[in-house]
Amino acid sequence: MTDLPTSSDVVVVGGGVIGMFIAFSLAEAGMKPLLLEARAFGGAVTGGSLAAIGTHMHGREEFDILAYARGRWRAFSDASQDRIEYNACGKMGFILNDAELAAGKSLVAQEKSQGARSELLTPEQARLHEPLLKGPILAATFDPDTATVNPFLAVRALMKAARKAGAQLRENTPVARVLSDAGLVTGVQTASGHCISAPHVVLACGPWTAKLAANFDINLSIVPRQAQCLASIRQPLGTLHKVISSCEAEGGVDSGYTQIQQCPSGQILFNTVTAPIPTPEGAEDRVGEVPPGFVADSVETLLKLFPALKSLPILRSWVRFEGVTPDARFLAGPLPTAGLFVCAGDNGSGFCRAPLLAQFIADGITGAGTLPDAMRRDTERLYNPFRFSEGHTA
Amino acid sequence: MTAEHLCCDVAVVGAGPAGLAASLAAAEANAVVICIDQFPRAGGQYHMQPNASGTPFANTPQVQQGQQAIQACEAANVRFLTGAELFWAEPPKTPDAPFRLHLARDDQAIVIEAKTVVAATGAMERPMPFPGWTLPGVIGAGAGQRLLKTSGATCALPFEGKTVLAGSGPFLLAVASTFAKAGQGIDHFVERQPAALWTKAKAMLRHPSRLPDAIALLRDLSRTGARRHMGAIVTRAMGNGKVEAVEISPVGANGQPDLQQSFVVDGVGALCIGYGFQPVIDLTTALGAAHSYDLSLGGWYCGVDAMSGATSVSGLYAAGEVTGLGGANPARISGQLAGLHAAATCVKETSGLNDTAIQAIVTQLNKHRAFAATLAQLYPMPESFPVPLAEDDVVCRCEDVTLADINAAIAEGARENLAVKMWTRAGMGLCQGRNCGASIAATLREAGVEPEHTGYNRSHFPLRPVSARIAKEALTCEFSPD
Ligand SMILES: Cc1cc2nc3c(=O)[nH]c(=O)nc-3n(C[C@H](O)[C@H](O)[C@H](O)COP(=O)(O)OP(=O)(O)OC[C@H]3O[C@@H](n4cnc5c(N)ncnc54)[C@H](O)[C@@H]3O)c2cc1C
Ligand SMILES: Cc1cc2nc3c(=O)[nH]c(=O)nc-3n(C[C@H](O)[C@H](O)[C@H](O)COP(=O)(O)OP(=O)(O)OC[C@H]3O[C@@H](n4cnc5c(N)ncnc54)[C@H](O)[C@@H]3O)c2cc1C
């Protein structure tokens, strides 16, 4: 890339939904960020996402944060002239056994106390929302306020808004190293050797973020986890209505999960993971294939819940990688090298948090106080990049 | 229901000239061979077997050679699985493990464990959009040929009105020849390349053995009664709900159609149009083999070792058009080469793999490849749209994506196939980019991105749409260890 500038206010490394939202928030705050993406904008896990946004999930401590983020997505959808296919369709958690029933009841009770409109549905009530859900469910949790967006159009609209506000965005420009001097960030060097000086650098490189930080002897607790999905041929709209997910009992995502939804194109997207799938050697540079067992599990769950979809033609699959942390929460905030920030460790739900985290990082760099104080403090505490380090006290 | 499971030494995917030759060579070298094809009959495009007796095609050399090849395979114990669609292939899990091929046939799942695989998946038409190209009645030249050959006793295209055959290349003549044999008339024959008889004659003189074929093809074209328009292209198809009229324009010295001098043919019922073919690379890309780009070979093709047909994936061989367009002769010879080597890697008492024999085959192959290269030079495939498109012309017909949609995505920073796909859905429809890939590359090319950098639509599970139930049955099929 010959048209790269030699200096910038702030360099954002990574052009997924997180990096792009950060670039947008920084530009909105009056800075002139430069975002560098190794390959295609939004082409990594962001482009393989089902992009449901809401509060109805694990990590109840994050409820206010998730609610705030969802509000920002809605506002962004309203403000952007681009349609990002924001669809407040609601989310249903299917319950197949007593353990899940207990978990579902406690989730609904807790969310209600936090102000959510969620409820527990009988199978009959669930079928009023989702007529094809004929499977043997005991009950279902329901949150009417969960929304979905089109992940591709969301990135594209963010790019447009960020550029309009003064950001520069470059694809096919991998960053090889972050540069520093005497404990201060001084810029980045691209894989082709080009140096860009900048007083601030944000690492938003998704599952591979720990690599760039390792140059500084900073040990970030982020490892890649394989995620995958199947998509059908278009079905008539209204075949499914809600985001359908498993109701997490003990063990969180690692004990398995299911997500099924119909997107505005009409395609039905579905995935069931029963046990973590190990990240293959060299995964970063190779294009992966879905494991056969994953296809079998996903089909089995789909047909158990929706027997009418027996002949559903599968059209496509994809494999991507998410960044996982020990407690399933992001690492977001400043690192010990002054001027260096991290925002990664999405744990498979980065869309839900992107606007809040972007605001938090932008505030950290500009010094503005856009977020309410209490929320800023919660964010600092919940996503502290060093919360796992020895000697750290909450 | 559970999946049927089969084992073999060599699984050959595709039963055209390359696949049949590979199957025979491998079986004669003592390998247990299964040959798979999605069509109800073996033969592929070139040797396509008629589906009714007594049609004028039955006596053509293509059909008879095909019949002989099929019979030779059967005599050598090749097992044919026709009407079977390969929807997934898994590479060996360990160096000694077999490939696993997953098929759907008659609503039943079949899983084949094969020690080696020969991909002989052939080529497909490379559709190039032009104004009106999505009207019913506008079909590929190859599709027109297939319709005729499989029309049973009627032996006619199922369209009322005049027939126009248009595009470029020797294949158009082959289609015209099929029309002549069927007694199906052609009203207008439109070839993009100018007559330039001298250049063609000079080129043909370098391959004198092919002259009789060429003369026969031209004679067949005359028999169709077609009016010929050389150095001209179809610039528009028009009609209400179906094609009714076709606009033809001469190609100017700058290579662009001269719309001022266009004329319209009315009363058209069928426009068969083809600018060339592209290798079918879904199996080889899904298995991770290395591919390269060369327009004269049809665009993206699977690279192979010239002496063996081996791809970059151990145990996977490729032959025929998937390794670059060349026609039936190189396909047959490269099939033989790949079949011999595939068998040699898994059969102990093999015959035929001696250096002189292999060298003789490779020499033959190179000779035929050289002829194919000559033809490709005479009839270069258009890398850009042959007719400038209007902004509201559809480029991806599965998802109804227009040129304007794609140009907007490019203007906002899409620089490759994947980015255009994500932002416009071009390539996310039923064909998964097989049909619109070349058009997207052509659009990106106008924006300064060369096709080598655009990338191809790499296939992923499933290679072809497959019902949820069959996918599950195939992928959970357990093999008892033997
Ligand atoms: C609602 C919905 C429906 C979809 N339907 C389809 C569909 O029908 N067909 C379809 O093809 N896709 C579909 N997808 C898109 C799918 O998620 C993938 O984005 C797409 O398949 C990737 O293209 P590819 O297969 O050509 O890339 P791949 O073959 O997956 O190759 C790209 C490789 O590069 C890696 N990579 C890493 N970082 C980047 C980066 N920044 N940019 C690019 N690549 C990167 C990827 O991880 C991957 O390994 C759908 C997605 C959604 C959300
Ligand atoms: C099937 C599936 C379903 C999902 N469903 C949901 C859902 O419903 N809700 C939800 O919230 N989330 C969901 N997710 C997760 C969500 O997609 C991710 O959490 C989110 O996209 C993470 O965004 P990111 O920007 O951190 O990561 P990425 O998209 O991975 O972006 C990181 C970028 O950094 C680039 N990069 C890496 N290294 C460098 C370097 N050295 N230099 C320059 N660039 C670099 C990469 O190329 C990449 O583009 C789902 C994911 C999948 C796969």
Residue B57 Cα to ligand 2 midpoint, Å, equals 56
Rounded to 5 degrees, what angle do the CA atoms B354, B355, B360 make?
105
Indicate if B269 and B298 belong to the same structural domain.
no
**C-alpha distances in angstroms, B358 versus A363, B120, B361?**
70, 19, 5
Number of the ligand closest to the Cα of A229: 2
Question: What is the full per-residue pLDDT of chain A (394 aa) written as tens digits?
Answer: 458 999 999 999 999 999 999 999 999 999 999 999 999 999 999 999 999 999 987 668 899 999 999 999 999 999 987 689 999 999 999 999 999 999 999 999 999 999 999 999 999 999 999 999 999 999 999 999 999 999 999 999 999 999 999 999 999 999 999 999 999 999 999 999 999 999 999 999 999 999 999 888 889 999 999 999 999 999 999 999 999 999 876 555 556 789 999 999 999 999 999 887 778 888 887 788 999 999 999 999 999 999 999 999 999 999 999 999 999 999 999 999 999 999 999 999 999 999 999 999 999 999 999 999 999 999 999 999 999 876 554 4
Ligand 1 contacts CB of residue A263 (under 6 A)? yes
SS3 per-residue string spanning B1-42:
CCCEEEEEEEEEECCCHHHHHHHHHHHHCCCCEEEEECCCCC
Residue A231 Cα to ligand 1 midpoint, Å, equals 12
Ligand 1 contacts CB of residue A149 (under 6 A)? no
Write the burial class of residue A69 (CB in 10 Å: 0-12 exposed, 13-18 middle, 19+ buried).
Answer: buried
Indicate if B72 and B110 belong to the same structural domain.
yes
Decide if A25 contacts A2 (C-beta within 8 A). no
Mean pLDDT along residues B69-89: 97
Indicate if B133 and B266 belong to the same structural domain.
yes
Decide if B326 contacts B368 (C-beta within 8 A). yes
In a domain, B113, yes or no: yes
Indicate if B41 and B164 belong to the same structural domain.
no
B386-390 long-range contacts, Cβ below 8 Å, gap at least 24? B386/B128, B386/B130, B386/B192, B386/B233, B386/B257, B386/B275, B387/B130, B387/B131, B387/B233, B387/B234, B387/B235, B387/B236, B387/B257, B388/B256, B389/B129, B389/B130, B389/B131, B390/B131
Indicate if B158 and B66 belong to the same structural domain.
no
- Comparing CA positions, the residue from B88, B46, B83, B80 lying closest to residue B63 is B46
Which of B274, B291, B310 delimits the end of a domain? B274
Decide if B247 contacts B133 (C-beta within 8 A). no
Domains in chain B: how many in total? 3
Residue A46 Cα to ligand 2 midpoint, Å, equals 4
pLDDT in tens, B260-279: 999 999 999 999 999 999 99
Decide if A258 contacts A245 (C-beta within 8 A). yes
Mean pLDDT along residues B10-21: 98
Which of B215, B246, B274 delimits the end of a domain? B274
pLDDT band at B214 (very low <50, low <70, confident <90, very high): confident
Decide if A179 contacts A186 (C-beta within 8 A). yes
pLDDT of residue A37: 97
Which ranges in chain A are annotated with CATH 3.30.9.10?
Answer: 91-144+223-324
Residues B469, A315: C-beta atoms closer than 8 Å: no
Rounded to 10°, the helix A292-305/B468-475 angle is 140
Decide if B265 contacts B188 (C-beta within 8 A). yes
Residue B457 Cα to ligand 1 midpoint, Å, equals 10
* Ligand 2 atom 15 nearest Cα: A348
Identity of the residue numbered B301: Y
Indicate if B190 and B291 belong to the same structural domain.
no
Residue A287 Cα to ligand 1 midpoint, Å, equals 10
CA trace torsion B390, B396, B397, B398 (10° rounding) = -160
CATH number, position B102 = 3.50.50.60
* Ligand 2 atom 27 nearest Cα: A206
Is the pLDDT assigned to residue B286 strictly greater than 90? Answer: yes
Is the pLDDT assigned to residue B198 strictly greater than 80? Answer: no
Pairwise CA distance, residues B85 & B108, whole Å: 11
pLDDT in tens, B146-197: 998 888 777 888 999 999 999 998 889 999 999 998 889 999 999 998 887 6
Pairwise CA distance, residues A95 & A249, whole Å: 10
CB interface of B with A, residues 388-417, below 8 Å: 399, 409, 412-416
Which ranges in chain A are annotated with CATH 3.50.50.60?
Answer: 10-47+152-222+328-382
Which of B274, B307, B337 delimits the end of a domain? B274
Is the pLDDT assigned to residue B142 strictly greater than 80? Answer: yes
**B475 vs A contacts (CB less than 8 Å):** 292-293, 295-296
The ipTM assigned to this model is 0.93
Mean pLDDT of chain B: 92
**B458 vs A contacts (CB less than 8 Å):** 287
Is the pLDDT assigned to residue B206 strictly greater than 50? Answer: yes
* Ligand 2 atom 35 nearest Cα: A14
**B423 vs A contacts (CB less than 8 Å):** 152-153, 156
* Ligand 1 atom 16 nearest Cα: A48
Question: Structure tokens of B161?
Answer: 């009105």
In a domain, B482, yes or no: no
- Comparing CA positions, the residue from B480, B479, B466 lying closest to residue B109 is B466
Residues B422, A171: C-beta atoms closer than 8 Å: no
Pairwise CA distance, residues B325 & B279, whole Å: 7
pLDDT of residue B380: 87
Residue A205 Cα to ligand 2 midpoint, Å, equals 8
Ligand 1 contacts CB of residue A47 (under 6 A)? yes
pLDDT of residue A392: 58
pLDDT of residue B217: 86
Ligand 1 contacts CB of residue A39 (under 6 A)? yes
Identity of the residue numbered A258: T
**Which of A37, A83, A152, A320 is the best mutation test for B, with the most CBs of B within 10 A?**
A152
**A306 vs B contacts (CB less than 8 Å):** none
Residues B465, A153: C-beta atoms closer than 8 Å: no
Number of A:B CB contacts under 8 A? 97
The residue behind tokens 């297939």 is: B146
In a domain, B402, yes or no: yes
Is the pLDDT assigned to residue B423 strictly greater than 70? Answer: yes
The residue behind tokens 């227009």 is: B402
pLDDT of residue B350: 60
pLDDT of residue B60: 83
Closest-lying ligand 2 atom to the alpha carbon of residue A351: 11
pLDDT of residue A255: 62
pLDDT of residue B482: 46
In a domain, B415, yes or no: yes
The architecture of the domain spanning A10-47+152-222+328-382 is 3-Layer(bba) Sandwich (3.50)
Pairwise CA distance, residues B300 & B321, whole Å: 11
SS3 content of chain B, % helix, strand, coil (to 5): 35, 25, 40
Pairwise CA distance, residues A17 & A353, whole Å: 10
pLDDT of residue A1: 45
Question: Structure tokens of A206?
Answer: 């998704």
Indicate if B285 and B372 belong to the same structural domain.
yes
Mutate which of A225, A228, A316 for ligand 1? The one with the most ligand atoms within 8 Å of its CB, which is A316
Query: Is the dihedral angle over the CA atoms A143, A149, A155, A158 positive or is it negative?
Result: negative
Indicate if B265 and B282 belong to the same structural domain.
no
Decide if A339 contacts A319 (C-beta within 8 A). no
pLDDT band at B344 (very low <50, low <70, confident <90, very high): very high
Pairwise CA distance, residues A171 & A164, whole Å: 17
**Which of A150, A153, A289, A306 is the best mutation test for B, with the most CBs of B within 10 A?**
A289
* Ligand 1 atom 38 nearest Cα: A44
Residue A15 Cα to ligand 1 midpoint, Å, equals 15
- Comparing CA positions, the residue from B154, B190, B155, B151 lying closest to residue B173 is B190
Rounded to 10°, the helix A63-79/A350-366 angle is 90
**Residue-range definition of the domain harbouring residue B44:** 4-124+278-376
Mean pLDDT along residues B70-96: 96
pLDDT of residue A372: 93
Ligand 1 contacts CB of residue B458 (under 6 A)? yes
pLDDT in tens, B403-413: 999 999 999 98
Question: What's the fold here for domain A91-144+223-324?
Answer: D-Amino Acid Oxidase; Chain A, domain 2 (3.30.9)
- List beta partners, residue B100: B90, B113
Indicate if B85 and B40 belong to the same structural domain.
yes
**A317 vs B contacts (CB less than 8 Å):** 460-462
CB interface of B with A, residues 431-470, below 8 Å: 432, 458, 460-462, 465-469
Question: Structure tokens of B471?
Answer: 């996918």
Ligand 1 contacts CB of residue A320 (under 6 A)? yes
Q: Is B315 left (phi over 0), alpha (psi -120 to 50) or beta?
A: left
CATH number, position B415 = 1.10.10
Which residues have C-beta within 8 Å of that of residue A320, sequence separation ≥ 6?
A44, A45, A47, A48, A49, A226, A227, A228
Indicate if B328 and B354 belong to the same structural domain.
yes
pLDDT of residue A284: 81
Q: Which residue of A has its CA nearest to B425?
A: A265
Is the pLDDT assigned to residue B203 strictly greater than 60? Answer: yes
pLDDT of residue A208: 92
Is pTM beyond 0.90 here?
Answer: yes
- Comparing CA positions, the residue from B118, B79, B119, B15 lying closest to residue B346 is B118
- Comparing CA positions, the residue from A141, A350, A325 lying closest to residue A249 is A141
Residues B419, A41: C-beta atoms closer than 8 Å: yes
Phi and psi torsions of A242, nearest 5°: -115, 170
Indicate if B386 and B298 belong to the same structural domain.
no
Is the pLDDT assigned to residue B458 strictly greater than 90? Answer: no
Mean pLDDT along residues B15-21: 97
pLDDT of residue B2: 84
Pairwise CA distance, residues A386 & A381, whole Å: 10
Burial annotation B50-87 (CB, 10 A radius, 16+ → b, else e): beeeebebeebebbebbeebbebbeebebbbbeebbbb
- Give Cα B282 distance to the centre of its chain: 12
**A289 vs B contacts (CB less than 8 Å):** 286, 460-461
pLDDT band at B349 (very low <50, low <70, confident <90, very high): low
Strand A119-121: give its sheet, edge to edge: A119-121, A139-143, A91-95, A243-246, A257-262, A268-273, A223-232, A313-324, B466-467
Q: What single DSSP character describes residue B400?
A: T
Question: Structure tokens of B327?
Answer: 């026609």
Among partner residues B412, B419, B467, which is closest to A311 by beta-carbon distance?
Answer: B467
Indicate if B199 and B267 belong to the same structural domain.
yes
Residues A316, B428: C-beta atoms closer than 8 Å: yes
Residues of A with CB under 8 A from a CB of B: 40-43, 47, 152-153, 156, 159-160, 169, 171-172, 232-234, 265, 287, 289-290, 292-293, 295-296, 299-300, 302-303, 309-319
